[in-house]
Homo-oligomer: A and B are copies of this chain.
Amino acid sequence: MSAPAPSTFTVTYGITASSPKEAEAMAAALAVEQSVEMPPETVPDHLKGQIGAVESLESDGSRRWQVAIRYPRALAGDDPIQLVNVLFGNSSLQPGIRLLGCDPSVLSDLLPGPSFGIDGIRSLLNVPKRALSCTALKPVGCTPAELAERAYACSTAGIDVIKDDHNLANQPSAPFEHRLLSVLRAVRKGEQRSGKRTLYFPNITGRPEEIRRRFELAQKHGADGVLICPDLAGWGALIDLAASANPLPVMAHPALSGSRVLGHESGMSPSFLYGTLWRAFGADAVVYPNAGGRFQLSKEQCLAINEACRTDSLPLAAALPVPGGGIDRTTVASWVEIYGPDTLFLIGGSLYNHPLGLETAVREFQSILNQPGS
């Protein structure tokens, strides 16, 4: 018999305020906003216990405070979407409030976590230790044959994972099923030359019915996983994929999610969003915008995402962090050193612009990852 679920859970937020008194008032208002959302004096006595409670409020010595709020577990019921609503529904609209984290147990209680995780993906690849490689099939506008040709070059050279560019949907230039079949055939052919596995993750982001249709096609035709953008598709779709009776590895892509993490005084901590939450929702691998590239997270924020993906303090399978968008074939070696082997390194444009072509670029990429110590 498992232990009964705790009757409350605690959520931490950052608060920006101009005085201790203002911080206290904001914390108290936040606890109400995220629970009963009405003046406490109007809450019937027998329901006062539904109101969130400020557990602690600590200043960092400047204008920032960290507050822990305890909510009754009953507010979320058995519903992970409602849990997110309790974490940050209305307070996302209030400047000066930033969601930082929550009790792992309420997440593992309500959410499936990765079906495969780092170990499962390593096992599919038969690569137990070293850092892993990934590229994106692009650009949009290519025919299935053109995309298959690129996929063949990459798998021949032994890449670990090929994902669709997140811009490949179901456009007439490369309709989903046609693309899936062409690319899978090319990847399986390339594997025979490389002598190793390459996984292909087609993009299934779309409307709910379209997600189901493409996921079923991916299952039917033997895709090795799928790519989905949770902020475009809805986070619930992630859970459904992970909870499928016949799951495939799921890679989550951060399209449209940037506004959630860019603020410093509002939004969410990127490690909590991409690491903890998307992992709990079922992402086996999480693409995030790496430091030093054309996006803006710091190296410290990226390290925190990696840690949140992998930590066993969340009792769910670990997710594979996938830094991308800021990784160059000439700099990847140093990132391998910094991030360690349990990382899937995503390089796009910088492989495509190798003067000797894509296949050579991928061979060089693989040789970096195959070096002892990687």
Query: A residues within 8 Å of B by Cβ?
Result: 29, 33, 35-39, 41-44, 47, 49-50, 74-82, 84-86, 88-95, 136, 138-142, 146, 165-167, 169-173, 205-211, 229, 232-237, 239-240, 254-263, 266-268, 289, 294-296, 325, 348-349, 352-353
Contacts and interface: CB of A to CB of B under 8 A. Distances in A.
Nearest to A82: B169
B258 A268 contact: no
B89 A141 contact: no
A174 to B, nearest CB: 10
A35 to B, nearest CB: 7
Contacts of A47: 139, 141-142
B349 A42 contact: yes
Given A36-B140, A294-B94, A205 B263 contact: no
B236 A236 contact: no
A338 to B, nearest CB: 20
A176 B184 CA distance: 44
B36 A240 contact: no
Contacts of A165: 37
A39 B349 contact: yes
Copies of this chain, how many?
2
B256 A262 contact: no
Given A42-B349, A172-B74, A207-B239, A296 B258 contact: no
B77 A170 contact: yes
A95 B270 CA distance: 14
5 contacts: A37-B138, A43-B139, A81-B207, A89-B232, A94-B258
A39 B353 contact: yes
B352 A232 contact: no
Q: 5 nearest interchain CB pairs? A: A234-B234, A93-B258, A92-B258, A89-B255, A36-B139
Contacts of A95: 262, 296
A85 B165 CA distance: 12
Nearest to A270: B93
